[in-house]
Structure 1
Amino acid sequence: MQFPPPVRLLSAAVLALTTLAGHAHGPTPQKIDESVTIAAPPAAVWAVVSNFADLAGWNPAVTASSADRGNEAGSTRTLTLPAGQVTEQLDDYDAAAMSMSYRSGTTDPKVLPASSYSGRLTVKPDGSGSKLGWQVRGYRADTGNDPAAGMDDESAVKALRALMRPGLDAVRARIESGGTR
């Protein structure tokens, strides 16, 4: 059966676009969801993690931290990590909901192999204790179709998780051992 010219043209266009889309997809966002259950009321957990500027005060993966406007939306936080510095910007801070969200600012891929990420830190009741959750969504440092070694999805997830997990575990250890600051 022979199709009329408009149908043949449309079929060829769909085939061409499908082929091009398969080669120009780019990276997909990586999702990292970490949490820890803490035997303490949510207010006690929030008291430790609520200061946007003080990530270094509770996260051993961060050697220093500061923020230009504290917990005000738009505040820029500078984190010093073992390999160098990155900046992040506070997007939303809700003390009543015990939640804050932020996004990456300046990130050197040699310091943190992620080109763009956003995160949310939350404290919620969990039984007689609390759940401290940290969710990050981000892209690898090399956003090309064939990322360089160390700048790929796996490297971005590994680096972000290495920033998150020690902090969550340190908060639980500190609070459950009776320390607050």
Structure 2
Amino acid sequence: MRSFGLVLVTLVAATGAARATEVERSITIARPPAEVWALAGPFCAIARWHPAIVRCEPLTFDGKPYRRLTTRTEDAFLEREIERDEAGTSYRYATERSPLPVADHRSTFRVEPAGQGTRVVWRSDFTVPAGKDEKAVEATIAGIYEAGLQGLAARLAP
């Protein structure tokens, strides 16, 4: 797995206007949805299963839940939970600060039944500012999601 620092450094500048885009990744895990949600559902639980996250600090600002993530390369992210659906096993969050070259970043993390197991879907939409390579940014975010989903599956492996 490449480090986030290396991936961020390799983002190449390009010309053009800002563009809205989205990334979605999913994985099927041979465990019951309740078990997957118990591990992955708490907003700051990401530090227990994402291999790049070494620390998650839960915060509250103006009564709203936030998390401050620190990666192995010491990059920091500040994310605000904007919606939580315990019954529907999903949450939605907005990235407030990030080393990634994106704006208006919103993500949804969802756990749903899939046959005898569980499908976990991680999706985001965001704007890539003018002058940034859209495909490289998409690939970076896809890599973050893929690494996380693989880490989650590994934590739940029998």
Cα contact 2:82–2:92 (8 A) shared by 1: yes
- Which segments of 5 or more consecutive residues in structure 2 lack a partner in the other structure? 1-15
Secondary structure at the counterpart of residue 60 of structure 1: coil
Cα contact 2:25–2:122 (8 A) shared by 1: yes
CA drift at 1:83: 4.8
Runs (4+) off by over 6 Å: none
Structure scoring higher RCO (CA < 8 A, sep ≥ 6) equals 2
Alignment-mate amino acid for residue 34 of structure 2: A
Alignment-mate amino acid for residue 124 of structure 2: V
Secondary structure at the counterpart of residue 97 of structure 1: coil
The aligned length equals: 140
Q: Whose strand proportion is higher, 1 or 2? A: 2
CA drift at 1:54: 2.3
**Which one of the candidate residues 42, 53, 64 is aligned to 1:51?**
42
- With the length of structure 2 as denominator, give the TM-score of the two structures: 0.81
1:153 aligns with 2:128: no
1:169 aligns with 2:137: no
**Which one of the candidate residues 64, 67, 88 is aligned to 1:77?**
67
- With the length of structure 1 as denominator, give the TM-score of the two structures: 0.72
Cα distance in 2 between the residues matched to 1:85 and 1:52:
16
Percent identical among aligned pairs is 25
Q: Whose helix proportion is higher, 1 or 2? A: 1
Aligned-residue Cα RMSD (Å) equals 1.7
